[in-house]
Amino acid sequence: MKIVFIEPNLKTVSGHVYEATRALFNYIKNQNEPQSFFVSHKDANNDVIKNLPGIIPGYSLSCFEGGDDEVVISNLKNLVKNHDLTKNDVIVFLTGHLREVRVTNEIVKNNLNSPQFIIQIHQYYPPFPEADMILDEDVNGKLENEYRKIFNKIDHNKVNIVITPVKALADKIFSVTDYFPKLFPVPFASMQFPIKYNADSIKIGFFGDGRKEKGILDFMRFVDVSKNNERYNFTVQIQNPRGFSDEEKAELNNLINKIEVNENVTILRGPLPSSEYYKNLCNCDIVCILHDPKHYSIRLSGIAVECGILGIPVIVRIGSSAGNWISEEKLFGELIHNDDFDGPIKRLHSKILEVENVRKVNKLSEKWKSEYSAENYFNNYLLPLITE
């Protein structure tokens, strides 16, 4: 059996896309069986090629990149031909959405010898120009029709759809398509647990992509009113803000210009190389993950997983997937019901210093490391699905 792993979004050595691929790549390269290959976006840079030796930059379109289906159908046919893939082999999309399902439907149609496909969907909604478009009835109606049309054509003997471990996402897809996808973890590389708490200061971080639904504007408003608090030190990643109205964009830009002159505020611009990203993340006492529940009740937070692995306490919104983890005591942190961050941050920082909670965080960290390891993903989720 051969397995081909495709990460359509992999272009640089930053972000969860790279980290998940790297974790799996490093685990599998030490296994004798099965024979495996990794494929990135065709525009993967030299650092990707260097850090993941042997990876094939052979996929033309990232998940939401404009382009014709025939382009990636051709990519897939070339992979099948070049690696002599048959019905005994598997192509795994580490990240996929509706186009990936649609093109695999075409590949397997009337082809008894085609390989199997496994596609992991990470989000229900595609990225929209404005985040609030997910509330539009017409937008939802059109998207539901597209889901039904594509999922109705799935060959269940050849194609498996899996998702991230957020049951609400599975429920959402099932409610629209009558297809209930299996829940798979996302592999993360092992990370060193940071020990750094200081009773006299609180280092507060905000990281990730700059989409509106991730809460960057709300966090910047908090930084603005708290920037003169001598106990607080802020680290903020500003990465391609989008999904905002024109008025919100102007407010965000004004806040950035106003805040970045403060000595206790560090602004990190753009995507960061993994080493720099984790250095800054691990330097935080608390990370604010202010994801809008309208979006993130049905979507995994990669940063929440990283904080779970690293034992970094978090502030999250009630109703988000990360908020549910706190309610279930799987993740250590505080829930917020509104935009009052000050109280939860002070309470959480006080809890961090308690010996009992330090032990609790350490124990939770070990569980996160195990569940989201490449070894667990490969041996306890992927292989059983392939061989069932």
Q: Are residues 220 and 366 in the same domain?
A: yes
Other CB atoms within 10 Å distance of the CB of residue 273: 13
Q: Are residues 358 and 209 in the same domain?
A: yes
Domain presence at residue 195: no
Q: Is residue 86 within a helix (H) or strand (E), and if so which, with residue range?
A: none
Residues 42-66 pLDDT 10s: 999 999 999 999 999 999 999 999 9
Task: Using pLDDT thresholds of 50, 70 and 90, give the confidence band for residue 349.
Answer: confident
* pLDDT on residue 147: 98
Cβ contacts of residue 357 below 8 Å, gap of 6+? 332, 351
Q: Are residues 210 and 101 in the same domain?
A: no
pLDDT at 194 over 80: no
Q: What is the CATH number of the domain that holds 216?
A: 3.40.50.2000
Task: Using pLDDT thresholds of 50, 70 and 90, give the confidence band for residue 355.
Answer: confident
Domain presence at residue 196: no
State which residues form the domain around 257.
Answer: 202-370
Domain presence at residue 193: no
pLDDT at 198 over 70: no
The mean pLDDT value for 336-363 works out to 84
Q: Are residues 236 and 139 in the same domain?
A: no
Domain presence at residue 194: no
Domain presence at residue 224: yes
Structure tokens at 36: 């495996």
Q: Are residues 99 and 208 in the same domain?
A: no
Q: State residue 120 phi and psi, 5-degree precision.
A: -100, 115
Q: Are residues 129 and 242 in the same domain?
A: no
Residues 284-307 pLDDT 10s: 999 999 999 999 999 999 999 999
Q: Which residue has the tokens 């490093």?
A: 26
| Number of domains within the chain | 2
pLDDT at 28 over 90: yes
> Taking each helix axis from N to C terminus, what angle separates 167-177 and 137-151, rounded to the nearest 10 degrees?
80
Mean pLDDT of the chain: 93
Is 359 exposed, middle or buried (CB count within 10 Å of its CB: 0-12, 13-18, 19+)? exposed
Q: Are residues 140 and 37 in the same domain?
A: yes
Residue 6 contacts residue 92 (beta carbons within 8 Å):
yes
